[in-house]
Structure 1
């Protein structure tokens, strides 16, 4: 599906948008619910990734195809490795078979798991024969994807002796690790995180517990971008959010003050307002703890004609696509002066934005959604626009609520 996007009748917007639960929180809680059936969950994400996770957890034996869902691949690897008697082959899309899983597999093997590679060493598909895991100490490089770490932490309390996890080196993605630990604590599982050592105590059973998933801050980022690109006094209300969020991407509320976006926390909502401000010529952001908002920030800067230097982006190379390279290619097509390295992106300030450029999305939901706000500055085409269903199926409908003009081609 190709969409043509153009500006709303007015760039002074007023609207209310409801966003479903965080994909990150939902998939963690779904795994905990599979281990502890007394847990009930409200406001689950309606994303493809959450649906894939739910379906995968129901499989006893056979092939589990998680498509593009990297979170499900990592989390289900740990889950099935610890489930006695279950035997599955975890596989996914072509891109998924190019995304490394070796570090997690080796960690689980060191605990006694039975995991083998079906094709290329270090990559899916993988065959898992679930067995009782009795060892309780493991180490991982500290700079790997937090999903590897969370995969181990989520199953830890269900193991006979719990788990002691040592992170070797400088830790990255700390907010996602803390999110996992907070969710464990929320269902009564004892944890500690001191220095580079994380401990999770065993807990065989959990009583009846109801949990409510906070809405997704990554999804909120696109509305921050829209407000930044709009006129002063634009106001968009998003629900349901909280000030003490577990999600690392909640740093948006601080970062976007540089673009004149003011965030007000009200009961279960955030109100985004565009206020008068002194526009900067360049912004600098260290995004090691929130790499998923890098695409949104880069496109916001381009739309405003300002430069940016974004660092801490090394994990973007192994996402749904190589997001740094994808940003370089697509922003260049629009007229940007941009350069990327293995962990950074630099955009020079400029006033040129080409119109009616077709943006390729690379099977990456965030490419489609990050570029969509540019419709406020130029007409733009989005190829394979249906890819947004991975995390935010209602995205295009919600943009139409803002009167952004969307036409199927």
Structure 2
């Protein structure tokens, strides 16, 4: 399904979806605690459903009703089975060590872009700790029983490897230690540690080293799931572009993408807090920025689209992790911007662009949900209509995006016409 967006003015209150990062973690923690629990969740994305079904394959019992997930306890799992991960890297990276800790043989099935994303860290690390991994295309079979000990992790690609082990290692009899080299997205690890503490799991941290005692037992989390800061970034972009937007709710926690709000403010976005609602006030002028994006990579696409409207040149650096997302986001962003007549280029694993606004045109989003949403919001202020491929990909993380977009006055037509490919043009 492709989408053509027309210039329009947005106005209204967005009820933000629940944090996808936190829901993944809450589902796993509830499963490990084994106690019945009700988890209110707004916006059941495909990624969340994959994790829930993956935990079902490990012996969890779940149901869904009225935007609530009900965990009903654990049952005896089968000795073998499959876990379909779709394109959810969190599902894959969190559940591999968990299946190993439970001693369950499972085949993880990956779809499209996930099959191209890195797995070498687990393939190198886990065999030394009792796990056999056998890869056949988009299928990864694991068997054996995870053992504790010392785990040295290169954290430059993702913090998800660390979270997967932090949540699974307390189940083992042995003590363990994780040493993280080249850490990235520390905020996501902090989210994990905060939830583990709420579940009664003790992790002793010294800088980038984590000591995990074996033989620990989970208790059911008491925390609620906060709103998704990464999805809020698309509406921050809308506010920056002059739309009258309120976000509800809006709180504070360790989600990395909350840092992106500071950059939007630097660009000129003004804020007004109204109890639990955040009102976005349009800037007097959109200023160019220089951004290091390694700590909040999911916030970069809407920031780049905002910079396309700035008065001057913006630079985004340290974006190497965007190469290994649902698409190569450096390429996808720059191709899309160039198609909309923005002077943009890739330089040293970053993006340099000259602001001035978007024209109409065609953008191939490479089935990347965050590309669709960023360009959709940017298109509302383009000088002509903008056609995007793969509009349905928003279901991966924000299934209600188009509903919210249209409810606030966004003009879009959905169709099946193909959007043609384009090549990156050097400045």
Q: Given the two structures, how large is their TM-score scaled by the length of structure 1? A: 0.90
Which residue of the other structure, out of 128, 142, 158, is the alignment partner of 2:171?
Answer: 158
1:269 aligns with 2:277: yes
Q: In structure 2, how many angstroms separate the alpha carbons of the residues matched to 1:279 and 1:238? A: 21
Asked if 2 retains the 8 angstrom alpha-carbon contact of 1:229 and 1:304, the reply is no
Which residue of the other structure, out of 108, 112, 121, is the alignment partner of 1:94?
Answer: 112
Asked if 1 retains the 8 angstrom alpha-carbon contact of 2:267 and 2:289, the reply is no
Q: In structure 2, how many angstroms separate the alpha carbons of the residues matched to 1:237 and 1:190? A: 39
> Displacement of 1:39 after TM fit?
6.7
Q: Deviations over 1:359-403 (max 9, x none)?
A: 212121001001011232222112110000000000001011210
Asked if 2 retains the 8 angstrom alpha-carbon contact of 1:189 and 1:203, the reply is no
> Displacement of 1:115 after TM fit?
2.1
Matches within 5 A, 1:280-291: 280=287, 282-291=288-297
> Displacement of 1:224 after TM fit?
0.6
Q: Deviations over 1:63-112 (max 9, x none)?
A: 2221111111111211111112x221112113222111010232222222
Asked if 2 retains the 8 angstrom alpha-carbon contact of 1:80 and 1:130, the reply is no
SS in structure 1 at match of 2:118: coil
Task: Check 1:306–1:405 CA distance in 2 against 1; reply closer, same or farther (3 A cut).
Answer: farther
1:17 aligns with 2:14: yes
Task: Check 1:144–1:4 CA distance in 2 against 1; reply closer, same or farther (3 A cut).
Answer: closer
Q: Which sections of structure 2, spanning at least 5 residues, go unmatched?
A: 58-77, 416-427
Q: In structure 1, how many angstroms separate the alpha carbons of the residues matched to 2:21 and 2:132? A: 27
1:195 aligns with 2:213: no
Asked if 1 retains the 8 angstrom alpha-carbon contact of 2:29 and 2:221, the reply is no
Matches within 5 A, 1:51-70: 51-59=49-57, 60=78, 61-70=80-89
Asked if 2 retains the 8 angstrom alpha-carbon contact of 1:172 and 1:289, the reply is yes
Q: Which sections of structure 1, spanning at least 5 residues, go unmatched?
A: none
Task: Check 1:333–1:105 CA distance in 2 against 1; reply closer, same or farther (3 A cut).
Answer: same
Aligned length: 391
Asked if 1 retains the 8 angstrom alpha-carbon contact of 2:83 and 2:106, the reply is yes
> Displacement of 1:159 after TM fit?
1.9
Q: Which residue of 1 aligns with 2:25?
A: 28
Q: Deviations over 1:127-168 (max 9, x none)?
A: 01252x332321112323111111111112222234310113
Asked if 2 retains the 8 angstrom alpha-carbon contact of 1:4 and 1:382, the reply is yes
Q: Given the two structures, how large is their TM-score scaled by the length of structure 2? A: 0.86
Which residue of the other structure, out of 209, 217, 242, is the alignment partner of 2:229?
Answer: 217
Asked if 1 retains the 8 angstrom alpha-carbon contact of 2:134 and 2:140, the reply is yes
Q: Which residue of 1 aligns with 2:139?
A: 125
Q: Deviations over 1:224-275 (max 9, x none)?
A: 1111111xxx5422223312x1200001221111232223444443322224
Asked if 2 retains the 8 angstrom alpha-carbon contact of 1:83 and 1:130, the reply is no
> Displacement of 1:208 after TM fit?
4.3
Per mean C-alpha deviation after superposition, the further-off stretch among 36-45 and 185-194 is 36-45
Q: Deviations over 1:294-349 (max 9, x none)?
A: 11111111134543211121111111111111111111111121111453111123
Matches within 5 A, 1:190-339: 190-202=202-214, 204-230=216-242, 234-243=243-252, 245-276=253-284, 278-280=285-287, 282-304=288-310, 306-339=312-345
Asked if 2 retains the 8 angstrom alpha-carbon contact of 1:324 and 1:340, the reply is yes
Q: Which residue of 1 aligns with 2:47?
A: 49
